[in-house]
């Protein structure tokens, strides 16, 4: 009987888990609550089943469910790795999954670049289609002052490039079993990620245009804002890796969680380089600079 239940393969058959159901529930509540939250912000109503869901609480409840699900699900994944379930075959498939996730993120940003280039290359149609009163078919639209790309955006470019160097240093230190180097490299990466977010928040607070007053502002804030959100998520990702590294959670041969975080961070770096040259430099070329 024992031989009949003996494992004769390299795959990991996981135990029944509630996390997929919780993730679906959280995503549904978050989406449903998001609609009600937007109606609430605009003073509208969202009636369903005789109730008005135009309030922010449902959105935050869904967000809390998703965060709880992510923490619990990833904690189980880490536990499975410690128990030896992440065989070479399973580890390879985890890498395939991370690659596919990053590929989907690439296409996500392709959509925002597409929107920006469509508006900038066909400026006359984009401006006429917007509800903002503007004249002329130039890009940026007439009357828009743009941010100086060689000021705060250049600072943030240097910050992200330095952070990518630091996470690579931490990876090499991990491969050579240098825990101090791993911790120091990850700590610097996290600090630089936080510094980037601070600079971008300062830049947004002093931007000479708004999200809703021009097609330029809308495409600019959507592209750079979502990148900023990814920097925030990546910083949390690396912070968790920093805590795990300080507690001895990685070894030179078992550290996929660190590799996934490093891949994600390098992806964020590359996207920012495209944003910097396409939106800040090329997209604002010839327009008056805000001081």
Say if residue 91 is in the same domain as residue 74. no
Give the distance, in angstroms, between the CA of residue 139 and the centroid of all CA atoms in the same chain.
28
Domain count, the chain: 2
In degrees rounded to 5, what are phi and psi of residue 48? -155, 130
What is the pLDDT at residue 133?
45
- Read off the pLDDT of each residue in 108-133 and give the average, rounded to a whole number: 79
Is 157 within the bounds of a domain? yes
Structure-token pair, residue 123: 């400026």
pLDDT of residue 212: 81
Question: Does 186 lie in the same domain as 46?
Answer: no
pLDDT of residue 290: 81
**Which of 33, 51, 85 is the C-terminal boundary of a domain?**
85
Greatest Cα-to-Cα distance within the chain, rounded to the nearest angstrom = 81
Q: Is residue 152 part of a domain?
A: yes
CATH number of the domain that residue 75 is part of: 1.10.287.70
Residue with tokens 């869901």: 53
Q: Name the domain boundary from 66, 85, 104.
A: 85
What percent of the chain stands above pLDDT 70? 92
Pair of tokens at residue 233: 């998520």
Q: What is the dihedral of CA 88, 94, 95, 97, to 10 degrees?
A: 150
Residue 131 has pLDDT above 70, yes or no: no
Residue 213 belongs to domain spanning: 86-291
Alpha carbons 268 and 203: distance in angstroms, whole number: 19
Whether the per-residue pLDDT at 134 is higher than 60: the answer is no
- Determine, yes or no, domain membership for 1: no
Q: What is the pTM of this model?
A: 0.88
Pair 157, 202: CB distance under 8 Å: no
Q: Which of 39-43, 58-62, 94-98, 156-160 has the lowest mean pLDDT?
A: 39-43
Per-residue confidence (pLDDT) for residue 103, from 0 to 100: 97
Q: What are 73-91's pLDDT values in tens digits?
A: 999 988 888 888 888 888 8
Q: How far apart are CA 24 and CA 69, in angstroms?
A: 10
Q: Is residue 22 one of the residues assigned to a domain?
A: yes
Is residue 53 located within the same domain as residue 166? no
- pLDDT of 127: 62
Grade residue 137 by pLDDT with cuts at 50, 70 and 90: low
Domain harbouring 288, CATH code: 1.20.120.80
Same domain, 67 and 167: no
| CA terminus-to-terminus distance, the chain | 78
80 & 197 share domain:
no
pLDDT digits (tens, 9 = 90+) for 2-24: 454 556 667 777 788 999 999 99
Percent of the chain with pLDDT over 90: 67
Confidence of residue 45 (pLDDT cuts 50, 70, 90): confident
Please say if the pLDDT value at position 262 is more than 60.
yes
Same domain, residue pair 163 and 185: yes
Among residues 32, 58, 85, the one where a domain terminates is 85
Based on the fold, state whether residues 81 and 145 are members of the same structural domain.
no
Quick check: is 38 in a domain?
yes
Instruction: Indicate the average pLDDT of the chain.
Output: 89
Mark whether 75 and 106 lie in a shared domain.
no
Per the model's pLDDT, the better-predicted residue between 72 and 123 turns out to be: 72
Answer yes or no: is 113 within a domain. Answer: yes
Cβ(283)–Cβ(147) under 8 Å?
A: no
Indicate the range of 33-42, 133-142, 208-217, 239-248 predicted with least confidence: 133-142
Give CA–CA dist 269/166, Å, rounded.
12
Residue range 202-256, pLDDT digits in tens: 999 999 998 888 889 999 999 999 999 999 999 999 999 999 999 998 999 889 9
Q: Are residues 277 and 140 in the same domain?
A: yes
Residue 48, strand partner residues: 51
Q: 70 pLDDT band (50/70/90 cuts)?
A: very high
Is cis: bond before 26, omega within 30 of 0? no
The answer to the question of residue 124 being in a domain is: yes
Q: DSSP letter string over 133-189?
A: ---SS-SSPTT--B--TTSHHHHHHHHHHHHHHHHHHHHHHHHTT-HHHHHHHHHHH
Query: Is residue 265 included in any domain, yes or no?
Result: yes
Nearest residue to 97 via CA among 270, 276, 257, 265:
257
Packed helices 179-205 and 215-246: angle between N→C axes, nearest 10 degrees: 160
């Amino acid at each position: 009987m024992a031989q009949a239940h003996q494992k004769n393969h390299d795959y990991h058959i996981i135990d029944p888990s509630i996390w997929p159901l919780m993730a679906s529930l959280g995503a549904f509540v978050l989406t449903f609550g998001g609609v009600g939250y937007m109606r609430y912000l605009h003073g509208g109503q969202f009636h369903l089943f005789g109730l008005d869901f135009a309030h922010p609480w449902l959105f935050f409840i869904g967000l809390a469910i998703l965060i709880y699900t992510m923490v619990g699900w990833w904690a189980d994944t880490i536990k499975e790795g410690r128990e030896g379930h992440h065989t070479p075959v399973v580890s390879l498939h985890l890498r395939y999954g991370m690659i596919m996730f990053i590929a989907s993120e690439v296409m996500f940003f392709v959509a925002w670049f597409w929107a920006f280039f469509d508006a900038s290359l066909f400026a006359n149609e984009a401006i006429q289609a917007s509800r903002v009163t503007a004249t002329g078919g130039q890009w940026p639209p007439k009357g828009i002052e743009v941010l100086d790309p060689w000021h705060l955006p250049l600072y943030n470019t240097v910050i992200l490039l330095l952070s990518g160097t630091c996470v690579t240093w931490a990876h090499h230190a991990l491969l050579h079993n240098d825990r101090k180097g791993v911790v120091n490299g990850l700590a610097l990466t996290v600090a630089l990620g936080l510094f980037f977010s601070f600079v971008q928040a300062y830049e947004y607070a002093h931007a000479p245009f708004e999200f809703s007053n021009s097609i330029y502002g809308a495409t600019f804030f959507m592209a750079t804002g979502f990148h900023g959100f990814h920097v925030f998520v990546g910083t949390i990702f690396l912070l968790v890796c920093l805590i795990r590294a300080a507690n001895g959670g990685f070894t030179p041969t078992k550290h996929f969680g660190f590799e996934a975080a490093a891949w994600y961070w390098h992806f964020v770096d590359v996207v920012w380089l495209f944003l910097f040259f396409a939106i800040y430099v090329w997209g604002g070329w010839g327009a008056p600079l805000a001081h």
